[in-house]
Amino acid sequence: MNFIAMDFETANYQPHSACSLALVMVKNSRIVGEYYSLIQPETDFFWKNIQIHGIHPEDVADAPKFPEVWQEIQHYYQNNRLIVAHNAGFDTNVLAGCLDYYHLPQPNYLSLCTVRTSRKLFPEMTSHRLNMVCQELGIPLERHHDALEDSRACAKILLYQEAHFGVAPLKKLVTSL
């Protein structure tokens, strides 16, 4: 499998409030690279979000804004590449919100949600939250809601599913964005 696992953390409920982003690159079913950046959002932080991910306004004061980050990563979203996320609806919405906010064109890519794949392939699990799926599958997750840790975990979940079920049931859950 070839894909990019993506995870955003946000400052608040606004879809353009990304404050960190991580990508984990998988080629031929092996993790081959990682990308991580803090992002300076043009929004306020909500205390609830800070409590979840631990990123404070002062942590991103010197971080690049989203357009600078996009310049570095936009090539990963070209040619209908597969982008994977745990709760992909959230992460793809944040990406779209940031692109809209800065009047940047939306890319065309394929999306796969590991919450959906986990529900389909592991219906017996009582929870399909990232930390619970990792615990059930024996996948390490040191700091949940750290974008890089979450992206790594997401990639490993999909690789586990591929190893145990093959790609056929996964392909059925891919959507085009």
Q: For the segment 96-108, what is each residue's pLDDT rounded down to a tens digit? A: 999 999 999 999 9
Q: What is the DSSP letter of 98?
A: H
Q: For strand 18-27 and strand 3-10, is the pairing parallel, antiparallel, or unpaired?
A: antiparallel
CATH 3.30.420.10 fits 3-176, yes or no: yes
Burial class (CB in 10 A: 0-12, 13-18, 19+), 124: exposed
Domain-wise residue ranges, the chain: 3-176
**pLDDT (tens digit per residue) in 79-135:** 779 999 999 999 999 999 999 999 999 999 999 999 999 999 999 999 999 999 999
Structure token digits, residue 150: 């979450």
Nearest CA-CA partner of 23 in 79, 64, 82, 89? 82
Whole-model pTM over 0.85: yes
Angle of CA points 62, 90, 33, to nearest 5°: 60
Percent of the chain predicted with pLDDT > 70: 100
Structure token digits, residue 71: 């310049």
Structure token digits, residue 144: 């949940």
Q: How far apart are CA 156 and CA 142, in angstroms?
A: 14
